[in-house]
Structure 1
């Protein structure tokens, strides 16, 4: 039963194989097994690749099965359509399009399995890329809010500088009236005279202005700090919202790009392995000598071709014979006087009917 299954996979005529030698049967079992297991590998590879896209086992297995059956049908078609020829160059020319197709299939099958084999290395590359994207994303979002935050911080600094300037002025006036009272500066008269009172009043007025300025600027500073906090919160929210997009940066295309950043030699050898598997049935047919099965198939095809050729020739002969007979018959009929008179009479009647019809139509127009 397994032998018949592999014969079916090879695309061979099982009725002919049953009457062929053991070596021919074993050869086609090997070809069919290669086609079958190539389809199995295609199913596994496509299921993994589709799982990275849909993130669902059932969907990946369903579409992977369809892809595996498609590859199975293509391989079976490729192998079954290669016919052994008496000329090797004709065989190679016949197999060239199929070899190109086999190369394409090998690339499609090998790439998902490469991603699975080098999954850990790919994850490391993706992690590095995600970290770089995270930093770039934070910088990009920060650049959107930085001008406004910097402007508010500058305004806060200006408000604080106003307080510092007023406080410096108040301290200077304090030192002035104290020095006047001690007699160490100003009039240098010890005691609290008129000049002292004037300087004291000026200091007290400045101190009141300082206290009021502190109150007003504190309110303004608090408002601006609140605005900065709101902007920072909005900035952090954007970072948090965009982070899942970066975390999800591990789809099929991202993994293929990450695989391309790894050393090419291991991937190339895996591709060569699948290319060898995919093209082995084709090359086995090309390399193998013309066997018993091939001769039997050629004999069947030649018999059918001969039968079809005979039928076409018979149809041509029937047509040619009928044409020759018609020529002879019509030549003889054209010489019969009775047929001539009969046709002449009918032609006269037709001409009379046409003349009568024309006369009646003209008569209606005139009347």
Structure 2
């Protein structure tokens, strides 16, 4: 039963092959098995490729089945239409378009399976690319918010600088009135004299200004830091929103590009393997000698061609004979005097009627 199925896959005439030897049947069963397993490989490859696109098993299996059947039909058609001839080169020329088609199919089939075979290496390449994309994304988002963040930072630094400057001024005034009281600087008189009171008044005034400045600037700093925190949250949110897009960068095109970045030799050998599998039925037909099935098929085709040519010749001869007979019949009729006189009288009557009708039309115009 399996043998009959593979013979069906080969596209051979089942009834004609039944009368051939066992070896001839085995040859075509082998060709059919190659066609069948090539279609199975095409189904697996396309199903995996479409799974990377849809991320769902059922659509991938459905489309993969359609693609596998398409490849099966094409291979079966290619193998069944190659005819054995007396010259190898005429057979090769006949098979050249089919070999070109087989090469295209082999490349299409092999690419998804290469992606699956080198999946770990491709994932490594994609991980590096994703990390680089994530860093670039953070940099771009940070650049987008940079001007506002820098503006807030400058404002905070400026406000803090004003406080620090005023604190330094107050501390200096404090040192001045203390040393005045101790008599180490200024008037160098120990005690709290008029100069001391003047200096402490300046310190107290500066201290009050510092308190007011600190209160106002701290409020502004709090507002600026709140704005910076909001901007930072927006930045983090933007990065979080774009990160899933980067994480999803592992589709079919991305994997093909990642595969192209790997060493080409292993991928090339895999493609050669599928090329050998896809072209093997055609090569087997080209290299195999003319067998019993080929002779019987040629006999049927030539017999049919001879019958068609004979029928065509007979139809052409029938047309020529019929034409000759009709020419002779009409030639005899043309020489009949009685028929000639009858035709003459009828033509005369017709001319008289035409003349009378013409006269009536002319009268109606006046």
Report what 1:220 is aligned to.
Answer: 220
Q: What do the CA deviations read for 1:309-351 (whole angstroms, capped 9, x no partner)?
A: 1111111111111222222222222222222222222222222
User: C-alpha distance in 2, partners of 1:339/1:189?
Assistant: 171
Runs of at least 5 residues in structure 2 that lack an aligned partner in the other structure: none
Q: Which stretches of structure 1, 4 residues or longer, exceed 6 Å deviation after superposition?
A: none
User: C-alpha distance in 2, partners of 1:209/1:359?
Assistant: 133
User: C-alpha distance in 2, partners of 1:171/1:346?
Assistant: 146
User: C-alpha distance in 2, partners of 1:356/1:160?
Assistant: 127
Cα offset for 1:266?
1.2
Q: TM-score, normalised by structure 2?
A: 0.96
User: C-alpha distance in 2, partners of 1:247/1:165?
Assistant: 50
User: C-alpha distance in 2, partners of 1:165/1:356?
Assistant: 133
Stretch deviating more after TM superposition (277-286 or 162-171) = 162-171
User: C-alpha distance in 1, partners of 2:350/2:217?
Assistant: 123
User: C-alpha distance in 1, partners of 2:321/2:153?
Assistant: 110
Report what 1:71 is aligned to.
Answer: 71
Report what 1:109 is aligned to.
Answer: 109
Q: What secondary structure sits across from 1:48 in the alignment? A: helix
User: C-alpha distance in 1, partners of 2:346/2:225?
Assistant: 118
Q: What secondary structure sits across from 1:250 in the alignment? A: coil
Report what 1:160 is aligned to.
Answer: 160
User: C-alpha distance in 1, partners of 2:109/2:119?
Assistant: 16
Runs of at least 5 residues in structure 1 that lack an aligned partner in the other structure: none
Report what 1:257 is aligned to.
Answer: 257
1:295 is aligned to 2:301: no
User: C-alpha distance in 2, partners of 1:70/1:168?
Assistant: 87
Cα offset for 1:198?
2.4
Q: What do the CA deviations read for 1:45-74 (whole angstroms, capped 9, x no partner)?
A: 111111111122222222211111111111
Stretch deviating more after TM superposition (80-89 or 187-196) = 187-196
Matches within 5 A, 1:166-245: 166-245=166-245
Report what 1:354 is aligned to.
Answer: 354
Cα offset for 1:117?
1.4
Report what 1:320 is aligned to.
Answer: 320
User: C-alpha distance in 2, partners of 1:162/1:343?
Assistant: 133
Aligned-pair RMSD on alpha carbons? 1.4
Cα offset for 1:5?
0.9
Report what 1:267 is aligned to.
Answer: 267
Q: What do the CA deviations read for 1:2-27 (whole angstroms, capped 9, x no partner)?
A: 22111110000011111111221111
Cα offset for 1:263?
1.3
Report what 1:337 is aligned to.
Answer: 337
Stretch deviating more after TM superposition (90-99 or 341-350) = 341-350
Q: What do the CA deviations read for 1:227-275 (whole angstroms, capped 9, x no partner)?
A: 0100111111111111111111111111111111111111111111111
Q: What secondary structure sits across from 2:365 in the alignment? A: helix
Q: What secondary structure sits across from 1:50 in the alignment? A: helix
Stretch deviating more after TM superposition (213-222 or 251-260) = 251-260
Q: What secondary structure sits across from 2:361 in the alignment? A: helix
User: C-alpha distance in 1, partners of 2:230/2:342?
Assistant: 115
Report what 2:97 is aligned to.
Answer: 97
Stretch deviating more after TM superposition (218-227 or 129-138) = 129-138
Report what 1:124 is aligned to.
Answer: 124
1:60 is aligned to 2:89: no
Cα offset for 1:166?
1.2
Cα offset for 1:202?
1.9
Q: What secondary structure sits across from 1:290 in the alignment? A: coil
User: C-alpha distance in 2, partners of 1:3/1:193?
Assistant: 126
